[in-house]
Structure 1
């Protein structure tokens, strides 16, 4: 089984933040989709030909998926989920597209195709890593000396789980390496919202 390349996934997210010239958090994954020219729709907005597949995904409690058709990139997501879950899901699907994990056009896959099962393989792990690095970079948690989960939840507009993972990561890797190596952190003057500001 292929091991996930989490460094590649994080670096791809930081490259995108640098390209977007992001200087304020929280960021909107929908803005990122607009910038990249990715069509982003809810399951309810899915084209009719996708409905057998969308129903399969919903029955398996899969929050989103993406595909490419020629130069067209599309993300579909379940808008019945919580606000923070939707933000992570869309960022996760952006990760699949950036990291070139996307599946074949859905009309080429029957609804019972095993690829719709979305096993927790290395691609899913890499997309999770990308999503977290995009919407709550652990390096910034370390740079701003944020030491509690609630501040991360409020500052980055993420779920408690996403914040907890970010806090854990920030304590493990050498953020000094990223500061010296990646231009987003070397040159950035990122503004975090004050505790009393709304996310």
Structure 2
């Protein structure tokens, strides 16, 4: 892959930050569902410990998910390359990591299973909503769309820009002549005062 292609793709840190941002939203949604479900599902641990297990599960699964799909992103040279592997790998990793991490925190098979089901359901809902199996635009396509949008905007607002520039020139000209008139008036006043003093 060429260096300029790599420069157009998001860096791994940016990809992880994006995953963590969406993971935070999904984690809060799961936490809300867990809090609602905890009224009729008995947990083996305190709800605070369960929340920590859920947070650690999401943290680790989102980071590992971004790292695992990175080779696919680099190979396809697209931020969202689509395909089955791009969808399945992070989903499976999130299930395995959430079970292992939650079991390490809670030491309860029931709570770990509950965390895993919540994470899997929330991730499945996200997959169905954003359809990541469909390839997104390449960096070149995004740049072309941006330039097309920029040209369209320039054409659309050309009359407004010309009008704003014309008014700004007129205002500048008026301010200049007003300032010049004030200076001439001061100079004439000074001349008259000097003549009166003589």
TM bin, normalised by shorter chain, reads under 0.3
Structure 1 or 2: more strand by fraction:
1
Structure 1 or 2: more helix by fraction:
2
Tell me the TM-score normalised to structure 1 length: 0.27
- Based on CA coordinates, which of the two structures has the bigger radius of gyration? 2
